[in-house]
Structure 1
Amino acid sequence: MIDRKMLGVIAIAVLGILIALVQPFAPGLSPLGHYVMGTVIAGLGMWIFRPGNLPFMSGTSIILGLTLALFFAYKAGLVFPGKVPFKAPPQIYGVVMGGFTSSAVWVLIPALYFGFVLQKTGLGKRIAYMVLKTFPATWLGLAISWLVIGVALSALTPSITVRVAIVVPIAIGIVEACKLEYRSKGSAYICLLAWGMALFPGTGWLTGSLSGPIMQGFFPPEIKHLCNFDDWFKILALPWFVVTFVYVALAYILARPKEAIAISSDVFKEEYKKLGPMSKDEIISLLILVGSLLMFFTEKQHGIPTAATALFALFLFVMFRIIAGPEISSGINWDVVCFFGIAVALPPIFGVSGISAWFGPLIKGPIMSIAGAPLLFMLVITAGLMLIRFIDVPWGFTTAALTIIMLIPLFNDFGYHPLAVTMAYLIAVNFFLLSYQQPFILMGEGMIQGKGWAPAHVFKFGLIYIVAAFISLLVAVPYWKMIGVIR
């Protein structure tokens, strides 16, 4: 029998083919636009369902190959020759493959190696146990510990995958040490707090999560300079601190068990002692990572771009043999890098094919009608993007595309800094109520074999996150007005 994933791929592929052939959005959207839209939808189906655990490269190859073929066919007049005017860009390869030359990709690649180094050297685990042994072994102490660990690990690597891989196994170890039942209230509190702190805090700065490089790559050329480390931190650090703090506080108030935790700080001290003294590789790695972070924060002062700093850090890891030769190919997931490259190229592909010009006005009227009231506007578009995330899984590209289309008119007509509007996308991409909406929940469940939490716990913590997100907007909008990024 054909499994559900294959049925999903077939259904979405048929939808893409119908859009390409029937062209339901004519005459507003050109035939080329329909063909490109159908191609991207077919590739998106491969990304979403991944039948047989096919790599992301399967969908990436569909989009790259067919889009290149379409552009060259139109340029040569082979597709409806003489009927559809199409001004091919000077460098078609530069449009379709542009994501792979974007500075965002060259921030991403070294950053993924940062996470590899944290795992290989044991530095990430050392940092986690060092914090855990510092605070009292209570439900509140654990919450504070996970918060500190989340911030510390986010400062050293943007890879949420790595952070989840470090903290979730430690969390389930604490559950077992406390002799708590798997998937119990106490188990969910420990594990979902740890998981949340691997996800949320780093969203507040450009290199704290992969959302930073992703949005930097997505930004249109005319406003790309506005997506930099300093502005991201100035505009988004406070709102994401509020999200993180409220998530922890509400989890402690609403989701902690009534009985006291059955563990002492001595357990964490023993685990830390087992790690032994810091190795030479750990010390060198820590110095390189902290130095890189300082360079990121002071980019305006020294003028060295984030990508250059990240690449030099990667050079140092290789030079000091912390990353060995064979690990260049095996140390990170190159499938994710290829997936990221084509995702970053989608906005210019949509621009050249006419999709952006066609789709923009469709949403401009309803959205712009409330843009004069910033708080109402941010609350509405955030809620709308959250609703879209019920079908826009797992990585939220529809929400990203809708956000990007809004940025320039909101900036030009209403004075919204693009990064302020980006907050709606960031909230939506971190959103979850059900496990399937959040790939990092699925990853965490896989690491601990589903022992940490039940679906009801995910739903409860998802509601906590939603409350935290909307409270952050109530704080953020007045703050943005005060610092002048919303007029």
Structure 2
Amino acid sequence: MLSDRKMLGVLAVAVLGILIALAQPFAPGLSPLGHYVMGTVIAGLGMWIFRPGALPFMSGTAIILGITLALFFAFKATLVFPGKVPFKAPPQIYGVVMGGFTSSAVWVLIPALYFGFVLQKTGLGKRIAYLVLKTFPATWLGLAISWLVIGVALSALTPSITVRVAIVVPIAIGIVEACKLEYRSKGSAYICLLAWGMALFPGTGWLTGSLSGPIMQGFFPPEIKHLCNFDDWFKILALPWFVVTIVYVVLAYILARPKEAIAISSDMFKEEYKKLGPMSKDEIISVIILVGSLLMFFTEKQHGIPTAATALFALFLFVMFRIITGPEISSGINWDVVCFFGIAVALPPIFAVSGISAWFGPLIKGPIMAMAGSPMLFMLVITAGLLLIRFIDVPWGFTTAALTIIMLIPLFNDFGYHPLAVTMAYLIAINFFLLSYQQPFILMGEGMIQGRGWAPAHVTLFGLIYIAAAFISLLVAVPYWKMLGVIR
């Protein structure tokens, strides 16, 4: 039955895309090419959202790539290349449509996904988790602090939220069972959703701490792409996301913890850590490579080696030391996600060259720019607006990203907003959840523990806690950004 509904969803979205392409309701403002590209992307988006029969992302990717390439060659005389550079087909067309796969963001993403694979394969991720858990007292507060430390530590070592969720959520449900708590109870939800949240939120504060960093780096228009670097991302966004993380933990402790004491002792964590035995050679090598990579990321401005080069060299070292073997190159990461990421990064230039951005931009710029003179009001309103859009823009938030990208250049040129400050609204929206369907990592966590961790009401409660934490962070961030001079 669920599969049938998903298939109906794909067909409904495909029909919408076809209608837009053929009926061209936005003419004359949007060209025929723009309508065809918009219809194609909508049809591919339907496959990404509903995925009937676990349809791979490659299905939507292939449709968008194939049809967009054909359209661009058919309409090459009307393409709008930025800067009015001389038209040279086919290299320019391939450069636009396939540009996501040559973006530096993709070549940060691929090694970074292998970092997560290494954490799981060597057992290093589990070792770090139990090392922290045995260090703090076995109380509701101690557990919250432990998850916070674990989340920061794992975020420093891999941007893959999938890997972090895969490490912490099974440990969390194990703690629930050790405490003899009922599944989906208040205590179970507190343990599991805190662990899940710490796998998601802390790493958003630096470029390589979550996949949002490489995604936005790839989405940034060429003229401002240099502003999306590791140093600026950390300087502008680390404090706001530290506030989000701390407030989420504090409010969860106040509002969501059980009244009765936790029925577990630190001895259990010490025993689990002892079962892991001494660190293996592979774990030691992995720690050295991962920590070395992190230090190189943080000091990029000093040594000048780009993040992608550092990440690729780290991948080379993992292969050279045979921590990643030949067969694992193909099986160690999800290449379907990499292909999905490549076309997602290419969507902004595709929209620009097909004329969609030029048509759509003025529709939203007027109302948005009217508020830009008041940074606090502006950030609060656009964040609230993007959160509302996320009720229908699921699961990956492409509309949210597109709206954010359209705002970046005029806000930077006309009002002095650093693009990464504006990006905060997108990041809050992409991590948003009130219902399970809005957040793919909630669905992933539920699947890993067969729905035993929390009930829908708990997701809503923790979602409200997250929203409160996000808006509190904006109240701190805007004065901080003014002090830094990134908002004039």
Common fold, TM-score beyond 0.5?
Answer: yes
Report runs of 4+ in structure 1 exceeding 6 Å deviation.
76-89
User: Taking every aligned residue pair, what percent have the same amino acid on both sides?
Assistant: 94
> Unmatched 5+ residue regions in structure 1?
none
Please say if residues 89 and 352 of structure 1, whose CA atoms lie closer than 8 Å, have aligned partners that are also in contact: no
Please say if residues 98 and 345 of structure 1, whose CA atoms lie closer than 8 Å, have aligned partners that are also in contact: yes
Aligned length, in residue pairs: 487
Please say if residues 71 and 88 of structure 1, whose CA atoms lie closer than 8 Å, have aligned partners that are also in contact: no
Please say if residues 112 and 311 of structure 2, whose CA atoms lie closer than 8 Å, have aligned partners that are also in contact: yes
Please say if residues 108 and 214 of structure 2, whose CA atoms lie closer than 8 Å, have aligned partners that are also in contact: yes
Structure 2 CA distance for partners of 1:99 and 1:453, relative to 1, 3 Å: same
1:127-185, Cα deviation, whole Å (9 max, x unpaired): 00000000000000000000000000000000000000000000000000000000000
In structure 1, what is the equivalent of residue 18 of structure 2?
17
Deviation at 1:88, TM superposition (A): 6.7
Deviation at 1:78, TM superposition (A): 14
Structure 2 CA distance for partners of 1:118 and 1:93, relative to 1, 3 Å: same
- 1:241-320 alignment, distance < 5 Å: 241-320=242-321
Deviation at 1:327, TM superposition (A): 0.1
Moved more, 76-85 or 49-58: 76-85
Structure 2 CA distance for partners of 1:187 and 1:279, relative to 1, 3 Å: same
**SS, match of residue 174 in structure 2:** helix
For 1:484 and 1:350, locate their aligned partners in 2 and report how far apart those are by CA, in whole Å: 31
Deviation at 1:91, TM superposition (A): 1.3
Please say if residues 379 and 425 of structure 2, whose CA atoms lie closer than 8 Å, have aligned partners that are also in contact: yes
Structure 2 CA distance for partners of 1:325 and 1:21, relative to 1, 3 Å: same
Deviation at 1:81, TM superposition (A): 23
Deviation at 1:416, TM superposition (A): 0.2
> Unmatched 5+ residue regions in structure 2?
none
Structure 2 CA distance for partners of 1:399 and 1:87, relative to 1, 3 Å: farther
When the two chains are superposed, the root-mean-square deviation of aligned CA atoms in Å is 2.6
Deviation at 1:76, TM superposition (A): 7.2
1:47-94, Cα deviation, whole Å (9 max, x unpaired): 000011100000000000000000011127999999999997851001
Please say if residues 240 and 476 of structure 2, whose CA atoms lie closer than 8 Å, have aligned partners that are also in contact: yes
Structure 2 CA distance for partners of 1:87 and 1:26, relative to 1, 3 Å: farther
For 1:38 and 1:180, locate their aligned partners in 2 and report how far apart those are by CA, in whole Å: 50
1:410-456, Cα deviation, whole Å (9 max, x unpaired): 00000000000000000000000000000000000000000000000
For 1:2 and 1:220, locate their aligned partners in 2 and report how far apart those are by CA, in whole Å: 38
1:382-428, Cα deviation, whole Å (9 max, x unpaired): 00000000000000111000000000000000000000000000000
1:286-328, Cα deviation, whole Å (9 max, x unpaired): 0000000000000000000000000000000000000000000
For 2:210 and 2:48, locate their aligned partners in 1 and report how far apart those are by CA, in whole Å: 20
Please say if residues 131 and 145 of structure 1, whose CA atoms lie closer than 8 Å, have aligned partners that are also in contact: yes
Structure 2 CA distance for partners of 1:168 and 1:442, relative to 1, 3 Å: same
Please say if residues 79 and 353 of structure 2, whose CA atoms lie closer than 8 Å, have aligned partners that are also in contact: no
In structure 2, what is the equivalent of residue 118 of structure 1?
119
**SS, match of residue 326 in structure 2:** coil
**SS, match of residue 453 in structure 2:** coil
2:222 matched to 1:221?
yes
For 1:3 and 1:243, locate their aligned partners in 2 and report how far apart those are by CA, in whole Å: 39
For 1:363 and 1:218, locate their aligned partners in 2 and report how far apart those are by CA, in whole Å: 19
For 1:337 and 1:323, locate their aligned partners in 2 and report how far apart those are by CA, in whole Å: 18
1:114-139, Cα deviation, whole Å (9 max, x unpaired): 00000000000000000000000000
Please say if residues 73 and 79 of structure 1, whose CA atoms lie closer than 8 Å, have aligned partners that are also in contact: no
| TM-score of the two chains, using structure 2 as the length reference | 0.97
Please say if residues 80 and 353 of structure 2, whose CA atoms lie closer than 8 Å, have aligned partners that are also in contact: no
Please say if residues 182 and 451 of structure 1, whose CA atoms lie closer than 8 Å, have aligned partners that are also in contact: yes
Deviation at 1:253, TM superposition (A): 0.3
Please say if residues 74 and 86 of structure 1, whose CA atoms lie closer than 8 Å, have aligned partners that are also in contact: no
For 2:150 and 2:98, locate their aligned partners in 1 and report how far apart those are by CA, in whole Å: 37
- 1:62-461 alignment, distance < 5 Å: 62-75=63-76, 91-461=92-462
Please say if residues 159 and 210 of structure 2, whose CA atoms lie closer than 8 Å, have aligned partners that are also in contact: yes
For 1:88 and 1:427, locate their aligned partners in 2 and report how far apart those are by CA, in whole Å: 40
Structure 2 CA distance for partners of 1:356 and 1:284, relative to 1, 3 Å: same
Please say if residues 129 and 150 of structure 2, whose CA atoms lie closer than 8 Å, have aligned partners that are also in contact: yes
Please say if residues 30 and 84 of structure 1, whose CA atoms lie closer than 8 Å, have aligned partners that are also in contact: no
